[in-house]
């Protein structure tokens, strides 16, 4: 009897939660439910973070940056063409110099995902003018396997894991002080 009551109340509890979706036996959610989750949760959370933009262009070189919520993002033409393996990408960002700043790095998954707008295609937020609709490297602190690293795919706004020897695109970021 208790199990029957629980089964009757469970849908009500789910309806009361902030975000609802179901999955199939493989643990995958439908495209429609994924889009709903993006609209109702992810976009609400991340649009709070990306609200103040400051574009800076270096007159000597074609550099462009976007600043938002204590982060400065690389947004020049190189973002569309720099295609490196993970070690090269990490070294590239460490050596990156724009507007006199030298503390650039690869973004974390969360930082990079905050530049995604799942409601549009291409999926980069409108403030970012330079991007490729392919995977970009990110840093995932919880990945223990030294042979793999994470990425965000801007054609599908999905996160994934790739071998570090594979090549993906690079967008550097720095924390504003």
In a domain, 24, yes or no: no
CATH number at 46 reads 3.10.100
Mean pLDDT by 10 residues, the chain (177 residues): 45 41 47 57 46 53 77 91 96 93 94 78 72 88 77 83 95 92
Q: What residues contact residue 157 under an 8 Å CB cut-off, 6+ apart?
A: 38, 113, 116, 118, 123
In a domain, 100, yes or no: yes
In a domain, 19, yes or no: no
Interatomic CA distance for residues 57 and 99, integer angstroms: 8
Query: Is the CB of residue 85 less than 8 Å from the CB of residue 95?
Result: no
pLDDT of residue 23: 40
In a domain, 57, yes or no: yes
* pLDDT one-digit tens code per residue, 121-145: 666 677 778 878 899 999 976 666 6
pLDDT of residue 66: 83
Interatomic CA distance for residues 123 and 157, integer angstroms: 7
Domain assignment of residue 99, given as a range: 29-175
pLDDT of residue 85: 97
How many domains does the chain divide into?
A: 1
| Dihedral in degrees, nearest 10, Cα atoms 175, 76, 120, 115 | -10
pLDDT of residue 57: 59
């Amino acid at each position: 009897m208790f199990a029957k009551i629980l089964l009757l109340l469970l849908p009500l509890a789910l309806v009361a939660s902030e975000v609802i979706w179901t999955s199939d036996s493989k643990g995958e959610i439908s495209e429609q439910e994924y889009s709903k989750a993006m609209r109702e949760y992810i976009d609400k959370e991340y649009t709070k973070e990306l609200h103040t933009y400051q574009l800076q262009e270096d007159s000597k070189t074609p550099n462009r940056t976007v600043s938002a919520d204590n982060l400065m993002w690389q947004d020049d033409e190189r973002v569309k063409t720099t295609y490196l393996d993970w070690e090269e990408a990490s070294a590239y960002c460490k050596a990156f110099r724009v507007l006199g700043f030298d503390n650039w790095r690869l973004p974390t998954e969360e930082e990079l995902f905050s530049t995604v707008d799942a409601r549009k295609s291409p999926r980069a937020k409108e403030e970012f003018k330079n991007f490729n609709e392919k995977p970009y490297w990110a840093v995932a602190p919880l990945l223990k396997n030294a042979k793999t690293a994470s990425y965000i795919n801007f054609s599908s706004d999905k996160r994934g894991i790739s071998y570090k020897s594979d090549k993906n695109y690079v967008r550097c970021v720095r924390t504003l002080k």
